[in-house]
Each structure stands twice: as C-alpha cells, then as structure tokens.
Amino acid sequence: MKGLLWKDCLTIRKKYGLPRLVLDLAILAALLVVLEGTGALVVSPLLVPLEVTSMVISLTSFDETWKWDKYAAALPVSQAEIVKSRYAFALLM
C-alpha cells in the first residue's frame, strides 16, 4: 500500500506541482480579502474538501488515461488494496 500511496503523491506532484499550489493560495488570499475577516470561517470548510475531491477525481482520470489498470493486474496487489490506498490518500490530503 505504501507504494500505491507514493504513486499517487508523485502523480499529483507531476500534474499539479507548484503552479497549482500558487493558484490555490492566490484564490484563497483573494477570497479572504473580499470577504474580509469572516472569510476564513467561510472559505476553509468549503475550499479544502473541494480541492481534495478534485485531486482524487483527477487521480482516477489519470489512471484511466495512462491505462494503469493493466499494470496493476501484473502487480501483487489486490483491487481492495488499491481502493484502500486511494481512500488513505484522500484522508491524508
């Protein structure tokens, strides 16, 4: 499972990287400025789960694009372990 989590981390880093992080922080800063003091209370509970969900969905689409399921069939991991690692990655994010 550790290897599957590492694969997901590398995929996110390769596909999103620093530009996505800077863009997310810029959006958060802009919302905090526009919403003034109460912005953090409104934005944080909404933006963070939305971003994590977006990353997990993107991981799934990347796996489909790269036909990762064919590689996974050759590995000594079960489908249950793959699903567990995806849930674990979402929880870690």
Count of beta carbons in the 10 Å neighbourhood of residue 89: 22
Going by the DSSP 8-state scheme, the letter that residue 17 receives in this structure is H
pLDDT confidence bin for 9, thresholds 50/70/90: confident
Give the residue, 5 or 50, on which the prediction is more confident.
5
Summary mean pLDDT of the chain: 82
Evaluated on CA atoms 5, 11, 12, 17, the torsion sign reads positive
pTM (global) more than 0.85: no
